[in-house]
Structure 1
């Protein structure tokens, strides 16, 4: 537990320093602990130290862990979401980060309507046109936003992106800067159900650069829990 607490403190300090460098208020940035492959006891330790939000990549892990997690965190679905899995998490997660298709939006809206809730989502943008990443292209965004404004049980709360992994995080700074520009331009849109409250970008390798460029939601796994042991999945 001490190791995790130290790691969390280190991440928080790095976020604070990045904010100060950029002239921002550190309180603006939400830290999401990414708990992919992490066991329930370890997650509960992190929550005990003050973590309030956890992010899972896979629906199956949310289902397995949901009733075993203490301290009632906010749940974030941050990985690619298949339409046939929406029904399993629609009543569990607080924010879906990975809305990337009209087909998925229709399913989320349908399932949310059935349980009489409005589902908060982020639109995932493939800002680097990376073939290995999900997300819509920038050239599709205007039409996609218009489509999203028609759904009564979806509320767009912002944008998300995953940039390519590089050793030198300075190389991805232009992508983060471009995302912030898109985010800011959409703040003035007058579409129904479209809000720009969250810009989710930045992971363990590049979150300080992301924060310097305007991210207000970072997703940190390795930086908190250490390298994952995928043999325990």
Structure 2
């Protein structure tokens, strides 16, 4: 069933409350504290006027895929909403690193040294730092961005060279299917990889975060250890374009 578009502040409050109740139930089933799992509302394609309603409904951070779209929203809203945090959760083309360094609070999709180098240079120039998560392709699908799991440790060992990047954990997109065991396998792989990297990577002690799970599978993600779930359509409503539109070069 498609998600209904949230058009009012009350719609958004109701949707967020419903998501949080489901999150709490998933935490209870898995013996976790609800305080250990963050809801990151994903606002890609949602127009500014509806994001202002989300702010009124209590939303204080938003996830965006496309740099240009996120940057434009930040510029339009930063005067009225100075406490609003923007998290870039989509692939970064290095020519956009300048914009990301200027406005983002987090970047969830680091998967190349080239991007790390570009971000670090821009951040250093601005005197800023940025929390980053390394994207891992846990499904093995060629259509998705992210490092192969076996490449993660070598990649992590290169990242201390970029002093402005605070490596906080890992991110993944599960296989796009309703097959629960296949989806859970992607999440469990990320959790197990994070646990191994805690022992072997230079940043091991800081690798607390697992960003995984979206509108259709966030409960499974929580039960497999997610610390951040990225939920868009279940809060704001169905998007008019397919997911493939939001990923450059046909990748996710």
| TM-score in terms of structure 1 length | 0.94
Distance 1:158 1:60, change over 3 A: same
User: CA separation in 1, counterparts of 2:205 and 2:133?
Assistant: 10
CA contact (8 A) 1:37 1:230 kept: no
SS of the counterpart of 2:208? strand
Instruction: Give the equivalent residue in structure 1 for 2:179.
Output: 168
Distance 1:170 1:49, change over 3 A: farther
Q: Deviations over 1:162-220 (max 9, x none)?
A: 11211234431111111111112223346159721211000001000000100010100
1:4 is the counterpart of 2:15: no
Runs of 4+ in 1 over 6 A off after TM superposition: none
1:151 is the counterpart of 2:162: yes
CA contact (8 A) 1:33 1:220 kept: yes
Give 1:37 deviation, angstroms.
0.6
Instruction: Give the equivalent residue in structure 1 for 2:49.
Output: 41
CA contact (8 A) 1:155 1:193 kept: no
Unaligned segments of structure 1, at least 5 residues: none
Instruction: Supply the RMSD in Å over aligned alpha carbons.
Output: 1.8
Query: Which piece of structure 1 moves more, 113-122 or 168-177?
Result: 168-177
Aligned residues: 232
Unaligned segments of structure 2, at least 5 residues: 1-7, 247-252
CA contact (8 A) 2:139 2:175 kept: yes
Instruction: Give the equivalent residue in structure 1 for 2:22.
Output: 14
SS of the counterpart of 1:204? coil
User: CA separation in 1, counterparts of 2:72 and 2:36?
Assistant: 31
CA contact (8 A) 1:199 1:217 kept: yes
Give 1:230 deviation, angstroms.
3.8
| TM-score in terms of structure 2 length | 0.87
